[in-house]
Amino acid sequence: MLVAICTDIHGNRHAFEAVIAAAETAGAEEMWCLGDLVGYGAEPDACVALADERCSIVLAGNHDLAVTGALSLEDFSRGAALAARWTQDTISKDTMAWLSELEAAGESQGYGLFHASPRDPIWEYVLSGLTAELCFDSTDFRVSFIGHSHVALSFTRMEGEPATGTTRREGTELDISASEWLINPGSTGQPRDGDPRAAWLLLDTEQQTVSYRRSEYDIAGAQAAIRAARLPDSLAERLQYGQ
């Protein structure tokens, strides 16, 4: 089965629609979202509606949990907290109820699914070999998919060896049939790895391979929506730089 995996949409409808279209073209039979449908971007209702329609699995991210009130906004940066308050005031009751039902961790097809990490599904950034090592030790899943860091990357650990990892670019294909893996598709709605295109993964569950993908989208349209909502301009500006 071919599965499209995305994460960190952050209210960016234009990016999400581009990834959905690209996933369909690639033959994806399912789509999994690892969380943060809302936050930062200006079209949260539209993103939740798309996820409800297109995704068979959706996790809760820390920004989703902030909007529903499950997490304190004091734990967020100024820009993130402002966007969360705006989202709380803007989204429909149905969207709020839908978000409130999500969990930060799950599993499917034998894979672990976590918004942040197996060790801490809500908050932990997996950006070093040491953190990856601790995560491998904390889960029974041989392969886990994670988000949260907004950086496309992967970590692996072969038996008897320490965990190693690297960032990943479009077109990289991984054979995940052996060893342990932590795999991050990168952010769909707010990439922070220098590539502004929407990031996602294509998982082949039969061949046990993963392919890193990027999709062009209407960045100007997403920026215009943020500015029209009078959210911090920095949230719009950063989209064109992938930062």
CA distance 169 to 114: 21
**Structural domains counted in the chain:** 1
Q: CB within 8 A of 192, min separation 6: which ones?
A: 149, 150, 151, 242, 243
How confident is the model over 1-47, as pLDDT tens digits? 999 999 999 999 999 999 999 999 999 999 999 999 999 999 999 99
Domain of 231 in residue numbering reads as: 2-240
**pLDDT band, very low/low/confident/very high, at 150 (cuts 50, 70, 90):** very high
What pLDDT does residue 213 have? 98
pTM exceeding 0.85: yes
CA distance 137 to 118: 9
Mean pLDDT of 159-169: 95
CA distance 136 to 144: 9
Separation in Å, CA 229 to CA 73, 113, 225: 20, 32, 6
Separation in Å, CA 3 to CA 6, 8, 56, 203, 219: 10, 17, 10, 5, 25
CA distance 183 to 122: 16
Helix axes 93-100, 44-54, angle to 10 degrees: 50
Which H or E run contains 139?
Answer: none
CATH of the domain at 100: 3.60.21.10
Query: For the chain, what percent of residues have pLDDT higher than 90?
Result: 99
How confident is the model over 66-123, as pLDDT tens digits? 999 999 999 999 999 999 999 999 999 999 999 999 999 999 999 999 999 999 999 9
